[in-house]
Structures are given as C-alpha cells and as structure tokens.
Amino acid sequence: MSKPSDLVQGTLDMLLLKILALEPLNGFAVSERLKQISGDVLQVSDGSLYPALHKLEQEGWISAEWKTTDNNRRAKFYSLTRLGRRHLEKESENWSRLSTAISRVVKLKEA
Amino acid sequence: MRPEHWIYTVPLRLRSLFRRHQADQELDQELRYHIEEKTAQNIAKGMSPQEARRAALLEMGGIEKRKEECRDTRKVNWLRDLLQDLRYGLRMLRKSPGFTAVAVLTLALGIGANTAIFSVVNAVLLKPLPYPGANRVVMVFLHDSSLQVRGNLGGADFLALEEQQQSFESVAAYSSSDGFTLTGDGEPEEIPGGKVTAHFFAVLGVKPMLGRTFSLGEDRVGQPLTVVVSYKFWREHLRSAPQAIGRSITINQENFVVIGVMPATFRFGDQSTDQLWPIMQMQTPHQRPPYFLAVFGRLKPGVSLAMASTDATRIAQSVTRQYPLSAVANATVVPMKEIVVGNSRVSLLTLLGAVGLVLLIAVVNVANLQMSRATARQKEIAIRSALGAGRLRLVRQLLTESFLLGAIGGALGLALAYEGVRAITILGAEIIPRIDEVAVDSHVLAFTVAAALLSSILFGLAPASRVRASRLDESLKESGRGGGEGSRSRVLHNALVVVEFSLATVLLIGAGLLIGSLARLEAVSPGFQPEHILTMQVALPPVHYMQANLTTAFYRQLLEKIQAMPGVQSAAVGMSLPPNLLEIENPFHVEGQSYLPGKSTTLAEEIPISEGYFRTLGVPLIAGRFFTNEDSAPGHHSLVINQTMADRYFGGDAVGKRVQTGDADPKSTWETIVGVVGNVKYEGLNEKDQPTMYVPYYSDGWAPWFVRSMFVIVRTPADPRNITASVRSAISSLDSTVPLARIRTMDELLSESVTSPRFATILLGGFAALALVLGAIGIYGVMSYAVAQRTHEIGVRLALGAQRSNVLRMVLGSGAKLAFVGIAIGIGASLAFTRFLSTLLFGVSPTDPLIFSGVAIVLTLVALLACYIPARRAMRVDPMVALRYE
C-alpha cells in the first residue's frame, strides 16, 4: 500500500463533491467512502475534512440536512446542489484535461 | 447608548447571537458524531475504549480549533459575497442612469428634508438646555387662584422665597430689560442683557471663564455695583484684555465694576442674545406688585416639581398675609426647558410629521420604480437562478442594490440638509428658540443613517417580494407578451399609488389649513390705520430721569419738536404698541360693584399714553372724547377705555362712570371714564379683544420706574422711513445719551407679528408641494408602465373596433380611480388627525370643508394631468404592431 498522498485543496473539493454526487452522506461517511474507493490511496485528515465541507456549503455547492442515521443517531448529511453539479462537471473536465496532458508528458519516451 | 437606539439594535443583536449559538451547537454535534464513529471504528480494530477515543481525538486535532476553522470559512464567504453584491449592484445602477438619477434625487429630497427638520427638533426639543444638570433647573411662577394666569414674581415674593425656601439648592431672579445703554466708549449703544441676583450663575451651574461671578450678599442695597459680561462683550468692548476684570463700565449712567467674563458657549435670554448681567440690588418693597422678576431655581436632589410647588405656594401664601391687599395665592414650578421651548413644540412636531410623510411618498415612488425594473429584469433573474443562485441570494442581492441606492440618496440628502439647516438658522432666527444650538451633529447623522436604512428596506422589500427563482423556460415564454408577473404585481403597483395619494392628501390638507389660517390672520383688522406710521422705542436712563417732571418734560419737548417737523401729521408716545407689544395689565374695580379687599376682580390692559395717541394711530372714537392736555393736570384722574371693556362692564354706557385701578383698595383714587374708543390688538392679531384702559402718561408726581421707556409713534402722509433721520436728530438734540431701538414702520410691525406662523406655513407648504410633485411622478410612472404592459391588450381592443377615445378614457379612468381611493383615504385620515393642529389654526376649523374639497379637486386634476401622457400613448397604439408581439 503506497503512502497516502497529500491532496491539494482544489482537488480535495472536487473529490468530496464527486463522492456526494453519488449519494448524500455525512462527514464521517464521506471520508470512509473516499478511502474505500481509492483503495486507501487517498485519505483526507479529519482536521481538514470539516473546514473543507463547510467551505463547500458556503459556496452553495452542497447543502446540509440533519437526519437520523441507521443506528438512531442524528448526523448532518450533505448532498450536492445543482450549482455544485455544474461546478463538479467543470472541474472534472479541467482535471482530465490536466491529467491527460501530464501523462502525455510523463509517458514521453526518453530518447 | 440613548434609549431610542436600543430599540433598533437589541433585536438584531439577539437574533445573530441566537443563530450563532445554534450554528455553534450544530458544529459541535457534527464533530462529536465523527469522533464517536471513529472511536467505534477503532474499537472494532481492537483498541481499548480509552485508546480508541484518544486516537480519534488525536486525529481530529483540537476540536475547538477545527470549530474555529469552520467558522472562519463562513466569515470569509460572507464578506466576499457582500463585495460581489455591491459591485454587481453598482454596475446595475450604472446601466440604467435614468432610473438611478430619479431614484437618488427622490430619496435625497426626502431624506434631506427629514434631516434638516430633525436637526431643529433635536436641538430644540430633545437636547437638554446647555447647562450642567439642566433638568434640575426650574422656573417659579405665581398665579391667582381665580384667574388661572401664570405670572412673574414681585420683589417681596422673591425675597421671601429666597429666605424661606427648602426645595432648592439656590434661587435667583432675572429682570429682563430692553437693553442697557453703554456710554463712555464711543457712541452710546444698547446692549441686551438683564439684571440678576447673586445666585444667578450658581443656579445655572456655569462657571466664568475669567474672574468670578457674584458672591452672596452682593445683591443687597449698599453694596458696590458689579456686572458679569459675556465673551462677546469682553471681546468687542473690553478688547479681550485679561485686565478687564476690575475695570468699570458705564451702564444707564451708572458705574459697574466688571468682575467676571462668561465662556463663549454660554447662552441666556430671549434669542440667547444677553451680553450683560449687572447685579440687581433689592430691598423689601412697600407693596407686592410690580411682578417683573423671572425666578429660577435649581432643585435639590430628590425634590420633585410637586414638592417644590407646594413649598413655593406656602411661601406665596405667607407673603399674601403680609400684603393683604394683594390677591395672589399660589405658586407653581415648571422646568425651565418647558418655558423656553414649550410654545414651539406643536409646530415643530407637525413639521417633522409632514416631512416624514414626504419621505414615505418618496420611498413609495422608488419602490414602484424598483418593481418595474425588477420585472424588466426578470430574464436576467431567471438565468441567474438557473445557474444555481437560490432565492435568498437573489433577494440579498436586490436588497444590497436597494441599500446602495439608499446610501447614495442618503449622502446626497445629507449634503442638501446642511444647506437646509443653514437656511433655517437664518430665516428662523427670531422664531425658533435655541436657534444657535441647531446643527447637524452626531445624533442627526445617526438619524440620517437610520432614515436611509429604513427607506432602503422599505423600497427594497417591494421588488424583493416579487422575486421568484423561476425556471428559465417559464420566464422566456412569458417575456414575449411583455412579461410581468401579471395581476399580482399590478395590484401592488396600484396599492402603492393609492398610498402615495392618501399621504399627499393629508399633507396638502395640513398645508391648506395653515395657509387659510395665515390668510385670516393677516386679514384681521388691528383696530387702527397702520399705514404711514413710524415707530421706535426710547428708553430714558433712570439715573438722569429720576423724577416725573424730568421724564415728562423730555417727552413733551420731543413731541413738540417732532410735530413741528415738516411732513409730520401727528406724533405721540405710548407705553404699549399694537399689535403685540403690551407692557402691563392691571386689575381694576368698577364703582358700584361689590368686592373684597385682597381678592382681585378682573384684569385689563393698561396703557399710559400722550394726548395725540389715538389721533396718530387712527383709532376711532366711539363715545365721549379723547384725552386733552387738561387731563394730565393735577387733580384730574381721567381714563379712556375700549369698546370691549365698556360693553362688558358698563353695558355699553361707560362715559362718566368711575373705576379704581390696581389692587383692590377702598382708599385708592377713583378715575373717571371720559371716552370710549375702538378695540385695538395689543396681544397679537390672533388674540380676542381684551378690556383696555388708557391713562395719561403723566400726572403730577407719578413716574413709575417703567414709564421712562416709551414707544414713539409718528404719522406722516408719505413713506414713514423718510423721517427716521430727522426724528433721530430731534431726540439726540434733546439728550444725546438716549438711545433709540426697534425703529420700524407699523406695517413692518404687523408683518413681523405673524413671522412665526408664516415660517411654519411656508415650510409646510413647501413640503406639500414636494409631495404633490412626487405623487404626480408616481402615478405617471405607474400609468406609463401599466400602459406598456397592456399594449397587447390595447391592440386587441383597437383591432376589435374600440374607439381610440375609449382607450383614452379607459386609461384616464383607471388613473382617476386610483387617485380617488387615495384621496378618500387621505381625507378620512385628515378628519381624524387634523384636530391636533388646532393650536396652530386661526379662524379655520380643522375640518374646513372648503379646504378639504379644494385639495381633493387639485389632486384629482394633477392625477388626470399626470395620466394624460401615458393615456395619449395608449391611444396611439398601432394594433398591428401590438398584435405582432406574440
């Protein structure tokens, strides 16, 4: 298992949005899902998770609702808004363009 | 913080506090949930509960720190959003310069007028008087139990009060004077001021800037004469020298030693013009009148007005026992501020109310404008909401725009208000008490900000309430037909116009009532012929005119000189002057009517005059004869009375009857009535006619202290001002130390006597005119907009064969309907509320039907006129063009 990489803020935003695009989750569940999907490569520290989520809420990209969980506890669930969906689309496009460009450079055969 | 401000800020603060507390709690709950889940996960991994919890907490870092970071994101975003909204708002305003200009101007006028009037209300009614602990400074008055008239104290009363009182820290008396003649420093000059007793400055609580004020006992006869001067006097007449203390000045031919200089900010007296305060030295008088002292006191801590009144009444009653022929029995204590500003309260509050209505009308206008604009921008709003802006965000953005408008309008209004306050302080100088304290200070600025904020909220709410985060396709479909939210927004527009018109109606009715009153007042006949009369006031210094014969000799010679001048028809002197310069009233007793010594009966105005008085003024003779020189000879005791007195007390037949004047005393002289003259106004044009008695201004040996000051009146066939110079030289040729004051023609005096109601009427009239203009603009705007919206419908009607004149009538009709409803509501409100104006009205009822109907007609005409242009535009709609806009 490789070391968990440090995530740049903008990228973190995009990842969080993507996870919430799949289904509404609470903060703890989001960080677990991220670990799960990325095979433990990508982890967000508990300390940076909530400020990031709150910032996304301020921007209007996610909205929050207090719901009861399966084990009958109250937790704050976040879901993606319409505005967030559009932002996510834009960011995903940028990201794939960027990563394609990077891999093209990296894959260059050394002469 | 002043109590008024609390009311605004406390709910706001509570709310944000509460929400922040709630948000904090949620944040806390969220983080703790995470910790618990993490702990459970760790336990599942095999850690012990304490280890699991510790590891979870460690990974989170400090909970408080995280909470702080979450809170910070909120703050940064809020500020960024605000800046964005502001920039966007500015851009929007710049894109429609016409709208912005009209809205800003309308708001500026409304807010500016309010700020200006509030400056006056603040300085006059709200601020305490400019003395330390001013709310403890009171005035003491006497009143007769049967007459209900509040009056000054006499020497005996004041001395008794000073000696026996228990409610005051100190008391002082002030004797107003028409001015002190300053000689020995160039031309003789009249300096305003008043004589005061030793504790005067102690009562007011003001310390001198230089030197000292009076010490105890300096106001007893035999002490050296001392005077305290004002800063202005010290600067102008004592060359601001520090050694001025100890120097002597000559006032009214007596030497007073200057002992102190008051600071530049100290104000006292009528119009705050007093410059000199010489010591007043009193000794116990033989009789109780004259009542010439204004008495002030500083209440002891914990003493109420009622307690002080009781104390003063007790003392007044003991004085009555010492002077059994006098009748005064009760005393009352009134806060000094009430005396200074009480009379102007109704006018000022009326003006403030009026100008508030103007602001409301302005706000309604801007709301209408905003709404029209918002509907026009519906497409833009739809696009923005499709891009994800929530309704709250849109509303916030609209409100920010409104606040921007309010801020710009408020700033411009403040600039206008500065000019307005300057104009008011110049024009209202003689009318408004404490005028020198009127300024745009911090309270006024706070008021301006509040007015701008409140206005912004009010006119921002109207369009904001109509914002819907509607779907893009919906609004695009509607925009074909000229868009608009349909009937609901039209109802709001119409409602606003109705509100405007009702407010304008109330204002116009108020102004109309005042204008009617002013006209009636100016039409009142003063009782004589006022044209071509020159008047002036002459005050003989007591020191050189101690005896009666000196005084009478002076006036007799003066009158001879003046009557000998070319261009003079007749001349006379009198102690009082119409229309409102009455000097004394005296009780009197009619022969044959029973009385009790000590109980006075009735009061009449009493006026010492020379024998040419009635002729010079042009007062008609009703019965008997005028005075002749004979009447002043020893042994004669003649009296002339006016019609009112003759009718009321003698059944119209008064000549030959006898009367005693002064306090009821069986031993006082009987005066015989030799003539009855027409009524003359001496207490203002708006007062009812009072009983008046005229006496010759001199009889043998009688020259009371006040007769030295007389009004001189001269009748000339030409312009009275032509003879001013020659009359002046006649006086100075007799005695160069005698100053002249208040040189006016009688016409000027009459005009001056109505300055106060005229000022208020002009202001109110101005506001009403402004309201009228704003209302016209408002209905014009709404009608234009309505016509533009209904172009399609009009096109259909025309295509289906309607006459163009029908369309015209339809538009005019709908406009008129709105106006009618507004006017009706306004009339209803006026009927309920104009009774509060009745103290300002003269000869006009608060529900005068002529004025009410006049206002209704004017407003209807204005409404029709304003609707005419949009109506014509509706008429000219081309049905082909209109129908094509599908």
Q: Does A97 touch chain B (CB under 8 A)?
A: no
Q: Is the pLDDT of residue B852 over 90?
A: yes
Question: Which of A9, A33, A35, A58 best tests the B interface by mutation, with the highest count of B CBs <10 A?
Answer: A58
Looking at every residue in chain B, the average pLDDT score rounds to 85
Interface predicted TM-score (ipTM) of this complex, two decimals: 0.87
If you measure CA to CA, which chain A residue comes closest to B390?
Answer: A60
Cβ distance of A46 and B38 shorter than 8 Å: yes
Closest partner CB to B30 (pick from A50, A55, A84): A50
- Of all residues in chain B, the one with the smallest CA distance to A47 is B60
Residue B319 clears pLDDT 50, i.e. is over it: yes
Average pLDDT over residues B280-297: 84
Q: Where are any strands of DSSP class E within B162-318?
A: 168-176, 180-183, 189-191, 194-196, 210-211, 226-229, 248-251, 254-261, 276-278, 291-299
Is B387 in CB contact (< 8 Å) with chain A? yes
Q: Phi then psi for B256, rounded to 5 degrees?
A: -120, 140
B336 falls in which pLDDT band (50, 70, 90)?
very high
Q: Report chain B residues whose CB lies below 8 A from the CB of A66.
A: 26
Cβ neighbours of B393 in A, within 8 Å: 60
pLDDT tens digits, B730-761:
888 888 878 788 889 999 999 988 888 899 99
Share of chain A above pLDDT 70, in %: 91
The pLDDT tens digits for B381-424 are 777 766 656 666 777 888 888 999 999 999 999 999 999 999 99
pLDDT of residue B622: 93
Question: Which chain A residue shows the shortest CA-CA distance from B36?
Answer: A28
CB contact under 8 A, A58 and B393: no
Q: What percent of chain B has pLDDT over 90?
A: 38
Q: Which of B227-241, B663-677, B868-882 has the highest mean pLDDT?
A: B227-241
Q: By three-state DSSP, how is residue B259 classified?
A: strand
| Least confident range of A8-12, B260-264, B294-298, B816-820 | A8-12
Distance from CA of A25 to the nearest CA of B (A): 12
pLDDT greater than 60 at residue B435: yes
* B388 contact residues in A (CB cutoff 8 A): 60, 81-84, 86
Q: Tell me if chain A has a CB within 8 Å of the CB of B872.
A: no
Q: Flag whether residue A37 sits within 8 Å of chain B, measured between CB atoms.
A: no
Nearest-Cα residue of chain B relative to residue A74 = B33
Which of B27, B28, B30 is the best substitution to test chain A (most A C-beta atoms within 10 A)?
A: B30
Statement: residue B271 has pLDDT above 90: no
CB interface of B with A, residues 71-90, below 8 Å: 72-74, 77
pLDDT digit string, tens, across residues B543-599: 777 777 788 888 989 999 999 998 899 999 998 899 888 877 777 888 877 665 555
Instruction: Note the helical H segments in B61-154.
Output: 63-95, 97-121
Q: State the residue for tokens 């406009």.
A: B815
Please indicate if any CB of chain A lies within 8 Å of the CB of B412.
no
Residue B59: list chain A partners with CB under 8 A: 45-47
**pLDDT tens per residue across span B150-181:** 778 888 899 999 999 999 999 999 988 777 88
Instruction: For residue B81, give the chain A residue with the closest CA.
Output: A59
> Which residue in A16, A26, A28 has the most chain B C-beta atoms within 10 A of its own C-beta, making it the best mutation to test that interface?
A28
Q: What is the largest CA-CA distance in chain B?
A: 132
pLDDT > 70 in chain B, percent: 90
Handedness of CA A29, A34, A36, A37 (dihedral sign): positive
Task: Decide if A1 is inside a domain.
Answer: no
Q: Give the dihedral of Cα atoms B737, B742, B745, B748; nearest 10 deg.
A: 170
Q: For residue range B83-93, what is the model confidence (pLDDT) as tens digits? A: 888 888 888 88
Per-residue CA distances from B743 to A41, B83, B252 (Å): 102, 64, 20
Residue by residue, DSSP assigns A30-68 as: HHHHHHHHTTTS----HHHHHHHHHHHHHHTSEEEEEEE
pLDDT at B777: 86
Chain A contacts of B29, Cβ < 8 Å? Answer: 74, 76
Partner-chain residue, chosen from B31, B74, B389, that has the shortest CB–CB distance to A50 = B31
CB pairs under 8 A between A and B: 64
Mean pLDDT, rounded, for B293-301 = 93
Element of type H or E holding B160: helix B155-164
Contact B66 A66 (CB under 8 A): no
Q: Is the separation of the CB atoms in B588 and B668 below 8 Å?
A: no
Residues of B in contact with A50 (CB under 8 A): 30-31, 34, 66, 69-70
Cβ contacts (< 8 Å) between B64 and chain A: which residues? none
A30 touches chain B (CB under 8 A): no
Write out the residue range of the structural domain in which residue A99 sits: 9-106
Tokens representing A45 are 């520290």
A26 falls within a domain: yes
The domain tally of chain A equals 1
Q: Is residue A13 part of a domain?
A: yes
Please report, for the domain that includes residue A51, its CATH number. Answer: 1.10.10.10
- Answer whether residue B270 shows pLDDT above 80: no
Residue B715, pLDDT above cutoff 80: yes
Give pTM, 2 decimals: 0.77
Nearest Cα neighbor of B107 from B519, B431, B447, B451 is: B451
Q: Which residues of B touch A83 (CB under 8 A)?
A: 387-389
Q: Between B466 and B568, where is the model more confident? A: B568
Helix H, strand E, coil C: the string for B551-584 is HHHHHHHHHHHHHHCCCCCEEEEECCECCCECCE
| B885: CB partners within 8 A, 6+ apart | B480, B481, B482, B791, B792
Residue B472 sits at the chain A interface (C-beta within 8 Å): no
Are the Cβ atoms of B66 and A47 closer than 8 angstroms? Answer: yes
Instruction: Give mean pLDDT, residues B47-61.
Output: 88
Chain A neighbors of B63, CB-CB under 8 A: none
**Is there a contact between B880 and B390 (Cβ–Cβ < 8 Å)?**
no
A58 falls within a domain: yes
Asked if B388 lies within 8 A of A86 by C-beta distance, the reply is yes
What's the confidence (pLDDT) of residue B706? 52
Tell me the C-alpha distance between B779 and B203, whole Å.
Answer: 58
Token pair 């010759």: residue = B696
* A111 domain-assigned: no
Q: Does B805 touch chain A (CB under 8 A)?
A: no
Confidence of residue B16 (pLDDT cuts 50, 70, 90): low
In this structure, is residue A19 part of a structural domain?
A: yes
Q: Which member of A28, A45, A82 has the closest CB to residue B33?
A: A28
The stretches of B440-486 forming alpha helices (DSSP H) are: 442-465, 472-479
Q: Is residue A2 part of a domain?
A: no
The answer to whether residue B367 scores a pLDDT higher than 60 is: yes
| pLDDT at residue A48 greater than cutoff 80 | yes
Which pLDDT value is given to residue B582? 82
Give dist(CA B21, CA B10) in Å, integer: 16
Give the integer Cα–Cα distance in Å for B464 and B377.
12
A-chain residue closest to B384, CA distance: A83
Question: Between chains, do A82 and B59 touch, taking CB under 8 Å as contact?
Answer: no
Task: Say if A32 falls within a structural domain.
Answer: yes
